[in-house]
Structure 1
Amino acid sequence: MAALVVAREARDFREATTLRLTSGAGLEAVGAVELEEEEEENEEAAAAKRARSFAQDARVRFLGGRLEMMLGFTEEKWSQYLESEDNRQVLGEFLESTSPACLVFSVAAAGPLVASQEIPRDANHKLVFISKKITESIGVNDFSQVVLFGGLPALSLGHVSAFLDEVLVPVLSNKNNHKSWSCFTSQDMEYHIEVMKNKMYIFRGKMSRRTLLPIPTVAGKIDLDQNYSENKPPQSNERIILHAIESVVIEWSHQIQEIIGRDAVQPLLNGLHLSPQAELDFWMMRRENLSCIYDQLQAPIVLKMVKILTTKQSSYFPTLKDIFLAVENGKTLVPQPGISITICS
């Protein structure tokens, strides 16, 4: 009997000890969790404090106000942008950088505000860039005087084309800017400007799914009332015009052959299965493109170019005549009433 009592007491002691140990471990675990939560709260509070301090910077508030006006977003979206530590780092590097810096901001209709150092390739909405005029570190009070803001349209091709036509080409073509250059440098610059203009013009046509025939700049100097006699020796200016016309005729020939050479069954040969509507669309686009080319070939300046090649007995006249015939024959495959073409001979 005494042995049973001793055994029961020993068992109760072990259970009590276990309970006390388990309870103590639980308190330590709870304390560790509470400590972690407290540390997280402290970190969140510190992060929130840093975000508020950064947002109160006069330069940040100035940029936010201008971007809100140019991109049309709310003040809340700017605050949400500044909540991200990564965003604050990108903007902070721009503000403190002593080297040339530029940031491009964009915002979708229902998306967040995004900033990058390069223009996004897939942007389909308005962009705003911010660039520094100087590279030195500047004070807060002078910041608004040393940054440039600019907008880029959703389709940047029109922006680039306008810049090329209205700014770059006039500046580089201005003879007053060539005074310190040799005549060879000046002529080489004019040549590259002409090539650049033509490529941009052709590319702009492709973007609109049309074939645009570039006209040489010097052709604008052609006097439509002037007689270009066959026996009259060509003057220096006439020789330049003739060379420009002959050069562009070759370009036109390549463009026309690209259109005429397209085959409606080529996608089938490539293993694609197209519907009848796809073939109808092909012929419709072909007719519209050839009509666009026809209208360009009927322009007075083009007909004058034809006359010059004829009277000067240029070896490029047959090529130009082939261009007219190719357009005429191409339009015959897709009849369109009321259109004919006249070949100068």
Structure 2
Amino acid sequence: MDGTQVDRRMEFLGTFVQKTLKLKPEKWSRMMTTEENKGVVMKFLERPSPMLLVIVLTHTAQLVASNGFPLIQLKTKGVYFVKKQAVPVAKATPSESVISGDLSAKIIDQLASLVDEILVPLISNSSNCTQWPLVVSKDVHKHMHSLKSTVYQVKGQVNGHTVLPMPVGVEKVFEVEKLLDKSNGEICDLYLKSAIEGVVIKWSTQISDVLANDSSEKNSSNVNPIPSAGSDQPGEIISKTGYGKQGCSIGGLGKSMHQINFFCLQG
């Protein structure tokens, strides 16, 4: 026998797709008979780029391969393969060359889980940024918090909710409030104060937009709403903050923010 390697790449991809999506082997074989799909798969396997291969099940129950994330809403799960390095996938050991996983039918939910469970804890862990300057650490933390807020807002819009973002450092707002009380307003976290002021402006804009849209929709549909219909809306918005895991009620948080702002302004 010569030293020619056995090509196990197609077998690896097909087996993973069939097991993850719970499909019969015929589905994979049928997809690979289409020149367009086969070309996408082979380009991923044979070339350094693209780095990504996504395979989804369409509404007609057919597999479709792509080198980018699908723009259409998935009806079922999809699968993805990402190269660890920008090189062709190894023929003999493809499982060692790529990272594989499944895609949720609602990708925004999966993105929210990724940010919540991996990115935020990774960046928030102080042991991971001990060698960073304080300014850099705060800036990265701020951008990560902004990403989390944006993801929650988009997720809320997809589900028909309005999500109000929390300020950077919201997890220590009650601790700062106690410190302000003990020091009689002499010790003030100006960074948190600035974050609170910025987020309150965002809240005002968001709520105003929602109320304006809500009123125009009711008027255009000839509903003739009574005055109480408008007053109920802000409570519904505020209750859906998307930050329930932090254990902060909006009422308690608002009181603490007011206290912090009061002491900081006095100083």
CA RMSD of aligned residues (A): 3.4
The CA distance in 2 between the partners of 1:102 and 1:220, in whole Å, is 36
Q: Percent identity?
A: 27
The CA distance in 1 between the partners of 2:133 and 2:194, in whole Å, is 22
- In structure 2, the residue matched to 1:176 is 127
* 2:15 partner letter: G
Going from structure 1 to structure 2, the CA distance change for 1:109 and 1:252 (only over 3 Å counts) comes to closer
- Give the alignment partner of residue 123 of structure 1, picking from 59, 73, 95: 73
The CA distance in 2 between the partners of 1:210 and 1:59, in whole Å, is 44
Q: For 1:176-255, list aligned pairs within 5 A.
A: 176-221=127-172, 222-223=174-175, 226=178, 228-229=180-181, 232-235=184-187, 238-255=189-206
- Give the alignment partner of residue 113 of structure 1, picking from 50, 63, 67: 63
* 2:71 partner letter: R
* Structure possessing the higher radius of gyration over alpha carbons: 1
- Give the alignment partner of residue 9 of structure 2, picking from 46, 59, 63: 59
Going from structure 1 to structure 2, the CA distance change for 1:115 and 1:249 (only over 3 Å counts) comes to same
Going from structure 1 to structure 2, the CA distance change for 1:83 and 1:229 (only over 3 Å counts) comes to closer
Q: Secondary structure at the match of 2:213?
A: coil
Going from structure 1 to structure 2, the CA distance change for 1:281 and 1:204 (only over 3 Å counts) comes to farther
- In structure 2, the residue matched to 1:92 is 42
- In structure 1, the residue matched to 2:92 is 141
Segments of 5+ residues of structure 1 without an aligned counterpart are: 1-55, 269-273, 316-345
The CA distance in 1 between the partners of 2:28 and 2:226, in whole Å, is 47
* Shift in Å, 1:234: 3.3
Going from structure 1 to structure 2, the CA distance change for 1:149 and 1:264 (only over 3 Å counts) comes to same
Q: For 1:13-24, list aligned pairs within 5 A.
A: none
Map Cα deviations across residues 85-144 of structure 1 (whole Å, 9 max, x no partner): 333333222222234532110113533211011111113232211122233445532223
Map Cα deviations across residues 148-175 of structure 1 (whole Å, 9 max, x no partner): 2111111111111111122112222333
The CA distance in 2 between the partners of 1:185 and 1:224, in whole Å, is 22
* 1:300 partner letter: G
The CA distance in 2 between the partners of 1:175 and 1:293, in whole Å, is 33
- Give the alignment partner of residue 103 of structure 2, picking from 128, 146, 152: 152
Going from structure 1 to structure 2, the CA distance change for 1:69 and 1:138 (only over 3 Å counts) comes to closer
* 1:309 partner letter: N
Q: Secondary structure at the match of 1:130?
A: strand
- In structure 2, the residue matched to 1:290 is 234
* 1:83 partner letter: T
Going from structure 1 to structure 2, the CA distance change for 1:254 and 1:79 (only over 3 Å counts) comes to same
TM-score normalised over the length of structure 1: 0.62
Contact 1:230 1:313 in 2 (8 A): no
- In structure 2, the residue matched to 1:6 is none
* Shift in Å, 1:231: 8.0
* Shift in Å, 1:254: 1.3
Segments of 5+ residues of structure 2 without an aligned counterpart are: 1-5, 241-248
Aligned length: 252
* 1:223 partner letter: E
Contact 2:48 2:88 in 1 (8 A): yes
TM-score normalised over the length of structure 2: 0.78
* 1:248 partner letter: V
Which region of structure 1 is more displaced relative to structure 2, 224-233 or 89-98?
224-233
- Give the alignment partner of residue 27 of structure 2, picking from 73, 77, 80: 77
- In structure 2, the residue matched to 1:9 is none
* Shift in Å, 1:263: 6.1
Which region of structure 1 is more displaced relative to structure 2, 223-232 or 211-220?
223-232
The CA distance in 2 between the partners of 1:133 and 1:160, in whole Å, is 20
- In structure 1, the residue matched to 2:244 is none
Higher percent of residues as helix: 1
* 1:254 partner letter: T
